[in-house]
Amino acid sequence: MAISEIRMIPYTKPSITPLEVEFATDAAANGWGEHCYDYIIRFEEAFKAHLGVKYAIATSSCTGALHMGMHALGIGPGDEVIMADTNWIATAAPIVHLGATPVFVDILPDSWCLDPEQVEAAITPKTKAIVAVHLYGNLCDMDALLTIGERHGIPVIEDAAEAVGSVYHGKRAGSMGRFGAFSFHGTKTITTGEGGMFVTNDPDLYEQVLTLSNHGRARGQSKQFWPDMVGFKYKMSNIQAAIGCAQMQRINELVNRKREILQSYKEEFENLGIAHQGFNPESHGCLIGAWMATVVMDTPSENSTLSEALQARLRIKGIDARPFFAPLSSTPPFRGIANEYKHCKWAYSIPPVAINLPCSHEITQSDIHYVSAAVKETLL
């Protein structure tokens, strides 16, 4: 097949319809002066209603939401925050920026999320929080983590950047911890281009983060341009929020499509007889948003180059797959961090044999078959 004939299948891209364009155009034309927060407020209201939480603050990123929430919890120099070694750096960066130390523990081999037993073993007098990251839309064992947090008096934070649409025993991801944080990056299930959301049911924490999000100006401050503390500038723009409002009107459609894509891959792999260890798991009583269609292709092994080889071969066929997150403790910023729990077995052995398959909302059944067949062909 000639290069020009190779179909190009991106691993993901946003689903933008005339509705998003209409809302963004209105915000650009009319969302100024006294209307400069209209879409922001509307987006926050829609998101907290969907999640079933009391408070929501639209932010410029999920990282910003985490940074402000951790700051409001008083996390700072000398403190430790426990999180899974399998993560993107965006979860760890706010911890470092606050002068605290991320303590990396292993993931579970089935959910690829935080191992509660290792969390409890890693708790010290310096531990100030536990961050539960719902990886790829999979769900952490929140009952176990919340019980551990309550027993030790440590708040559990939910990084639900990838978990829009995921539900844990009737409760939406991000709604169960002391606070939750979401991402609306262009790769996510719902998007505002860049953007995030801080959510909580704690009124005091909400007020603190609301003040921090506006350069430290408290909501009740009557003086103009009068900061009550040093804050941050992590606010979302009205135009971004307008796109978010349109996406929220379509949220069930967008989440259901992600779940359909994951199911289609499972069926294709079964029909084609492709051996694998498993796709994104969904435990009893839970529903995953399936942000990424992720598959562990072979028996976990630190020494395998299967994932890299598979990505390279798929790229030749015009298929843009992406790697499973490498353990953060293996990356340059964190190699020097002391960790008495040392090696995280699953965090190191799963990525070399796992891959994220293309799963944009607009991917066709024909594309999914093409990708699946290409995977089988490259494995032969």
Cα separation of 325 and 10, whole Å?
18
What is the mean pLDDT of the segment spanning 363-368? Answer: 97
Q: What is the dihedral of CA 93, 98, 100, 103, to 10 degrees?
A: -20
Does 289 share its domain with 278?
yes
Question: Using 50, 70 and 90 to split pLDDT, how confident is the model at 275?
Answer: very high
Q: Does residue 12 lie within any of the structural domains? A: no
- 308-349: pLDDT as tens digits: 999 999 999 999 999 999 999 999 999 866 555 557 999 999
Q: What is the pLDDT of residue 48?
A: 98
Strands 101-105 and 80-84 come out as parallel
Does 43 share its domain with 130?
yes
Percent of the chain having pLDDT more than 90? Answer: 91
Q: Does residue 7 lie within any of the structural domains? A: no
Among the candidates 193, 224, 249, a domain finishes at 249
Among the candidates 222, 249, 276, a domain finishes at 249
Does 235 share its domain with 306?
no
- Kindly report the backbone phi and psi dihedral angles of residue 25, in degrees, each rounded to the nearest multiple of 5, phi listed first: -65, -40
Q: What's the token pair of residue 280?
A: 């994104």
Q: Does residue 153 lie within any of the structural domains? A: yes
DSSP structure class, residue 55: E
- Tell me which residue range forms the domain holding 280: 252-379
What is the mean pLDDT of the segment spanning 21-34? Answer: 97
List all residues 6 or more positions away from 183 whose beta carbon is below 8 Å from its beta carbon: 61, 62, 90, 161, 162, 195, 196
Q: Please provide the average confidence, as pLDDT, over all residues in the chain.
A: 95
Does 206 share its domain with 347?
no
Assign 102 to helix, strand or coil.
Answer: strand
Question: Using 50, 70 and 90 to split pLDDT, how confident is the model at 2?
Answer: very low
- 189-217: pLDDT as tens digits: 999 999 999 999 999 999 999 999 999 99
Q: CATH number for the domain including 362?
A: 3.90.1150.10
Q: Does residue 90 lie within any of the structural domains? A: yes
- Nearest CA among 30, 105, 72 for reference residue 327: 105
What is the mean pLDDT of the segment spanning 245-271? Answer: 98
Question: Using 50, 70 and 90 to split pLDDT, how confident is the model at 1?
Answer: very low
Q: Are 99 and 77 in contact (CB under 8 A)?
A: yes
Q: Please report the DSSP string for 206-244 in residue order.
A: HHHHHHHTBTT--TT--STT--SS---B-BPPHHHHHHH
Question: Using 50, 70 and 90 to split pLDDT, how confident is the model at 94?
Answer: very high
Does 65 share its domain with 188?
yes
Q: What's the token pair of residue 87?
A: 């993560």
Q: Does residue 10 lie within any of the structural domains? A: no
Q: What is the pLDDT of residue 298?
A: 93
pTM of the model: 0.95
Cα separation of 248 and 318, whole Å?
32
Does 293 share its domain with 192?
no
The angle that helices 89-97 and 62-72 make with each other, rounded to 10 degrees, is: 40
Does 239 share its domain with 260?
no
Among the candidates 233, 249, 265, a domain finishes at 249
Q: Please report where in the chains the tokens 């991000």 appear, as a residue.
A: 174
Does 187 share its domain with 324?
no
Does 140 share its domain with 205?
yes
Amino acid identity at 60: S
What is the mean pLDDT of the segment spanning 348-372? Answer: 97
Q: Does residue 4 lie within any of the structural domains? A: no
Q: What is the pLDDT of residue 153?
A: 98
Cα separation of 102 and 91, whole Å?
9
Q: What is the pLDDT of residue 6?
A: 63
Q: Does residue 58 lie within any of the structural domains? A: yes
Percent of the chain having pLDDT more than 70? Answer: 96
Cα separation of 251 and 162, whole Å?
14
- 130-188: pLDDT as tens digits: 999 999 999 999 999 999 999 999 999 999 999 999 999 999 999 999 999 999 999 99
Q: CATH number for the domain including 36?
A: 3.40.640.10
Does 345 share its domain with 272?
yes
Q: Does residue 290 lie within any of the structural domains? A: yes
Q: Are 114 and 137 in contact (CB under 8 A)?
A: no
Does 346 share its domain with 242?
no
Does 243 share its domain with 119?
yes
In the chain, the number of structural domains is: 2
Active site residues: 188
Q: Are 257 and 293 in contact (CB under 8 A)?
A: no
